[in-house]
Structure 1
């Protein structure tokens, strides 16, 4: 922050009415009187910044399909870990080295996402601005994807380079998953914040669906997996060029460049000169919160830690619903169940896309909290029914391959059982698309005060990817738990997610970012209906025993 800008901000703050420390409170900024001008430019900016979500979703979608492509197996399995026959076996029969490579291909990507979101995002976003971290995410993804698709296959040494590329690629996705909702939440009018912050999820699912369409078209091409991965490079190149035409967020500018710079940016975004009320609300928050909170104070302030716990909880539980393993390893699972993994993934990704479109209009109508709870309940049903269908109607037959020590598992589902499993998995992903998918990113980007927001969002985003690293090993659990066990596991974890939201997450719909502090202050755990009933029952029980 320049000395001149800091002096300008400090001078403005000195002219505001002062409160003693004991009198400092969270203001209701009267945002009903704020004029947001014409929203079309803010919508355009949110849509452009959400392109980072496109390569986020595309990479996840493309990975689930390419790992079952012959071109991928020919580059990384045939002649490296086995022959064509052994490289085409179901999961349990694949060569151990190749199966380990598949795990690392996903795991190291998630490691990169974690490193990018925790160790790169916060520093760049605070020091250089929200636009800079969007630019950084695109450069990292472009570099990492190039390292993955251009080297030849057939060599373990080259495979090491490709795995390093997956880390760099993941760092770009980690940065984009941090920067897109943060940028959108700070430029959006209050009444559109849920929708604009949810644009990233829209581009994620468009990328997911697009990847599966491309996989289906290129699955038999000799360069199929490379072409599928390469097409996405259009998105980061577009961001690298276009970000220079986007304004910085007024909230970051106010804190780092002063009120005048923030005012100019806000006028440009709102397409009106009447921005004084909104600037005053930002100023009040900067005054109350001060400059960026020191790292030691960050980890010792009770309210920050409580909010951090909620943000991390939402992100971790979003991952443990099983959505990423469904798309990353769903091709392998439904290849066993239905005999066509790529088509199954296309159906699932199409379901997500169709359901995300109406979801954009529900965030600011039905609210974040309601969608998380009721969407979560529907997700539980999808998982449990899929698992029960598999247990009731599918058999897993094991046999030795050519009298070798390799056991081949053949899944035999009677009648339409496999199709029904896919239907209820589609119900799960549809429910995720209108609830946990977009809202976990929206909610965690809007619940923190300005002076800790970038660091806190960085940590919560990192927790998402750290959970993704752990879930990368889910491929190794399919054999001991069975396909039905995986679905039961994720269904049970989703039950915990619904309970968590009920107990700890207040509604933030329609509340100015600067007013969210008061919302959390008035949301008390002891006021939840179930907690009151349990407390009253416990008190009655104690009186009876006395």
Structure 2
């Protein structure tokens, strides 16, 4: 269906959305949110969305501080608890596969509601669990919700944010994941495991309530042919006195051009038209996960112990630095650009891996043993700081920007699935690799991160300062 935008939008100056344009349904939407008709609506909408990112972090961080208490209370073996911890990733893979189609079918807000429902159900099942089976079912459900959040939150933010602030707002996704994980770890040391599962309900409750007060993604509404809803949502986000005519026309024209194409199937994503964006999206997810982050992150405490550095001190420094540098990256992304941050991040990951490899090489060959703890600490802090400045958040930002709206669901699901598969593979193989060779493990990670730098230089474009339509048209021409 070809969309038409009538009234003042075509005329140039837009003095707000008038009743004849938005109709009764949209009049109600505008009236309900009239107090938010100013530019801060974008920030409020982003805040509501990243409650899903915070929930993501809580899900990931839950298992670490609760391990001893859950095993004791429910008499779980180490193997049973390991299944409980790892089944989260399998739930996330299922969530990744279905997240794109769900977000395309019921909207970005609808997908967040679905994800929240699974997380709420999962936490309640965990809270009432009396044995390993319901515990695993609850963990699987929260993993599914987490997998959907990992796709839909950055995509939604990218679609509602102005181009000059899109990077920093989308990066808040990763920042809130880190904050959520740290919150779970801290509260897990002072609360019972059942009480901590109730804490996991709070971000989803805030999200579900907030969804009543924010608009749907204008670009999703435009893709669905809901012209009046699309214009109303765009006006709400920009403010009642903002001129939205140019952006509305740009989105309309781009959607119209996409409607002339046949609806792509999964195999069509590998055609020349879409292959570049798919390669960039999937390639960045491979770079992010296969460089060792989940092995290092999940087992940081044991790495510090192995290197002879106090694990509690090392883990606290590790967590604090990750939070601080993620915030710095969010502040820089729209100024420095996506590609420079990725290159700096990749270079730091190589350096941190080499430092850590040298530390374990010295220990393995009984050379300069006194320097091993300090060198390992420096290597791991350089590693996590470098990951936080770019490779942690930027791949999600770029993924949310490069896919055209007609393939965003399918392509985004593939990229997210690759990410979660890489997360599982990295965490699963880490202990085996360390048993083979501690310094060899980090040499391998250094080599993979060096290849990631090469991929970024050759394949990844700079995306800052461009509208989604401009960017996607250039990449997928």
Checking the alignment, whether the CA contact within 8 Å between 2:116 and 2:208 is kept in structure 1 is yes
Tell me the secondary structure at the aligned position of residue 140 of structure 2: helix
Instruction: Tell me the distance in 1 between the aligned counterparts of 2:296 and 2:199.
Output: 23
Deviations along 1:500-519, whole A, 9 cap, x unmatched?
11111111111110001354
Cα 1:62/1:80, change in 2 over 3 Å? closer
Q: 1:28 maps to which residue? A: none
Instruction: Tell me the distance in 2 between the aligned counterparts of 1:43 and 1:512.
Output: 18
Answering whether residue 96 of structure 2 is matched by residue 128 of structure 1, we say no
Tell me the secondary structure at the aligned position of residue 263 of structure 2: coil
Instruction: Tell me the distance in 1 between the aligned counterparts of 2:439 and 2:285.
Output: 25
Give 1:198-347 correspondences, 5 Å limit: 198-215=171-188, 217-218=189-190, 223=192, 225-271=193-239, 272-290=241-259, 293-295=263-265, 298-299=268-269, 301-338=271-308, 340-347=310-317
Q: Aligned-pair RMSD on alpha carbons?
A: 2.6
Checking the alignment, whether the CA contact within 8 Å between 1:387 and 1:488 is kept in structure 2 is yes
Tell me the secondary structure at the aligned position of residue 406 of structure 2: helix
Cα 1:190/1:183, change in 2 over 3 Å? same
Tell me the secondary structure at the aligned position of residue 463 of structure 2: coil
Give 1:494-509 correspondences, 5 Å limit: 494-509=449-464
Q: TM-score, normalised by structure 2?
A: 0.86
Q: Which residue of 445, 449, 455 corresponds with 1:490? A: 445
Checking the alignment, whether the CA contact within 8 Å between 1:103 and 1:472 is kept in structure 2 is no
Checking the alignment, whether the CA contact within 8 Å between 1:208 and 1:349 is kept in structure 2 is no
Tell me the secondary structure at the aligned position of residue 243 of structure 2: coil
- Rg larger for: 1
Instruction: Tell me the distance in 2 between the aligned counterparts of 1:299 and 1:365.
Output: 32
Q: CA deviation at 1:150?
A: 3.0
Tell me the secondary structure at the aligned position of residue 301 of structure 2: helix
Instruction: Tell me the distance in 1 between the aligned counterparts of 2:179 and 2:199.
Output: 14
Tell me the secondary structure at the aligned position of residue 351 of structure 2: helix
Q: TM-score, normalised by structure 1?
A: 0.76
Q: Which residue of 143, 165, 177 corresponds with 1:192? A: 165
Checking the alignment, whether the CA contact within 8 Å between 2:339 and 2:456 is kept in structure 1 is yes
Q: Which residue of 480, 484, 491 corresponds with 2:435? A: 480
Tell me the secondary structure at the aligned position of residue 306 of structure 1: helix
Q: CA deviation at 1:58?
A: 2.6
Answering whether residue 120 of structure 2 is matched by residue 142 of structure 1, we say yes
Deviations along 1:431-488, whole A, 9 cap, x unmatched?
1111011101000110011211122112211111111222231254155324333322
Instruction: Tell me the distance in 2 between the aligned counterparts of 1:105 and 1:329.
Output: 17
Q: CA deviation at 1:72?
A: 3.6
How many corresponding residue pairs?
445
Q: 1:417 maps to which residue? A: 372
Checking the alignment, whether the CA contact within 8 Å between 2:463 and 2:471 is kept in structure 1 is yes
Cα 1:464/1:266, change in 2 over 3 Å? same
Gaps of 5+ in 1: 1-5, 14-36, 82-97, 153-157, 397-411, 523-546
